[in-house]
């Protein structure tokens, strides 16, 4: 029972860290273009994250049932997975690199489950079809989108920006900045909402998986009747879980993530309001599609790629590609590093028994 409580606590800590780690995804361009002050941008991001987190459960279902065999998942397994993810998130935040909280969580979960199953790789669901014939598993829901979503972000940002140039090339810069300064508030809100619909659901899935594992293992059998709602005989996301995760993420978002804001909003490429609008709208639309199909996308990858695409329309060398290379390494290393961390922590605790 104590381990279940600790696992839930670490899950909420991950959600809180995810909030301030990924705040920059929604607000960096709005701050860098001076459309919003940092305080206004964070307030907007926190409120829209909260609303988005209450919508849908498709991504939560993918995290809870679609990636690993739940028979080998215990509260200890999830505890180790979360510790690995939190450690990596804090490390990349300290470096100011916008790495993926989503992939950190997924890597930790896969590694810890593999250790729990004594190294049997079959416990990781690579690719399969569910009862409705839809593709599930690590390859179609995580790895393929990890490759495709940044490409979509770059191309989408580039095409949206070129379309805007074609429509507005005769307009005065002052008018364009004034109009898109207002529109960028809406695009930042859309980005914050989309982040909530995707990222907050990942911890919802983890919390439900913890309670499911505790129920299956009998650890929750002695609960008083008033706490019977904690028992989860089948995978489902109760409203109280959604609300708890939504509030936790919103609180983390309100804390801000200034190191990453500086990287995305200032260091990578200089933006005007029209560029910020194009990048945020492109990224938010891609994330919404992922949420609809239950794909746990990295909002970090998508918005960063969209900023690259938008920035490249100014001049190819206006994007600081050296910094992009550093971020790419963080992206590539996230899954294997957190997988190893989750595996090592789980094996250490199993051997210590």
User: Which of 203, 54, 74, 70 lies closest to 125 in space, CA to CA?
Assistant: 70
Specify which residues 136 forms β-bridges with.
128
Instruction: Count H helices and E strands in the chain, helices first.
Output: 14, 2
pLDDT per residue as tens digits for the range 158-199: 999 999 989 998 888 889 888 998 999 999 999 989 988 998
How far is 288 from 332, CA to CA, in rounded Å? 23
pTM: 0.85
Q: How far are the Cα atoms of 120, 161, 165, 263 from residue 314, in angstroms, in the given order?
A: 50, 10, 11, 19
pLDDT in tens, 236-291: 688 888 889 889 988 888 776 665 666 555 555 567 889 889 999 999 999 999 99
**In the chain, which stretches have pLDDT less than 50?**
none
Name the nearest CA neighbour of 204 among 241, 151, 258: 241
- Compute the residue count for the chain: 353
Q: Give the whole-angstrom CA distance, residue 202 versus residue 146.
A: 16
């Amino acid at each position: 029972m104590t381990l279940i409580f600790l696992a839930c606590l670490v899950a909420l800590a991950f959600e809180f860290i995810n909030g301030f780690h990924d705040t920059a995804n929604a607000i960096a361009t709005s701050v860098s273009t001076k459309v919003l002050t940092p305080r206004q941008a964070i307030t907007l991001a926190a409120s829209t994250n909260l609303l988005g987190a209450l919508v849908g459960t498709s991504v939560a279902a993918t995290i809870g049932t679609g990636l690993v065999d739940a028979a080998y998942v215990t509260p200890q397994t999830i505890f180790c997975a979360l510790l690995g993810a939190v450690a990596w998130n804090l490390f990349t935040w300290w470096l100011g690199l916008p790495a993926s909280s989503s992939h950190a969580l997924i890597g930790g979960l896969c590694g810890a489950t593999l250790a729990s199953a004594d190294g049997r790789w079959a416990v990781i669901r690579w690719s399969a079809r569910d009862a409705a014939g839809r593709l599930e598993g690590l390859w179609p829901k995580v790895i393929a989108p990890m490759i495709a979503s940044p490409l979509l972000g770059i191309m989408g940002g580039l095409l949206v920006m070129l379309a805007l140039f074609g429509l507005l090339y005769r307009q005065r810069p002052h008018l364009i900045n004034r109009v898109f300064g207002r529109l960028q508030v809406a695009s930042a809100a859309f980005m914050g909402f989309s982040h909530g619909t995707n990222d907050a659901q990942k911890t919802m899935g983890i919390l439900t998986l913890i309670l499911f594992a505790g129920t299956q293992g009998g650890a929750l059998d002695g609960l008083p009747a008033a706490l019977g709602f904690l028992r989860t005989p089948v995978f489902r996301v109760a409203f109280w879980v959604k609300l708890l995760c939504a509030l936790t993420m919103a609180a983390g978002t309100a804390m801000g993530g200034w190191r990453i804001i500086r990287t995305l909003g200032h260091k990578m490429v200089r933006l005007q309001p029209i560029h910020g609008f194009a990048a945020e709208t492109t990224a938010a639309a891609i994330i919404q599609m992922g949420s609809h199909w239950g794909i746990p996308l990295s909002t970090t990858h998508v918005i960063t790629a969209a900023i690259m695409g938008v920035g490249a329309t100014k001049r190819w060398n206006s994007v600081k590609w050296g910094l992009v290379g550093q971020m790419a390494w963080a992206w590539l290393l996230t899954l294997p590093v957190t997988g190893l961390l989750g595996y090592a922590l789980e094996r250490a605790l199993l051997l210590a028994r």
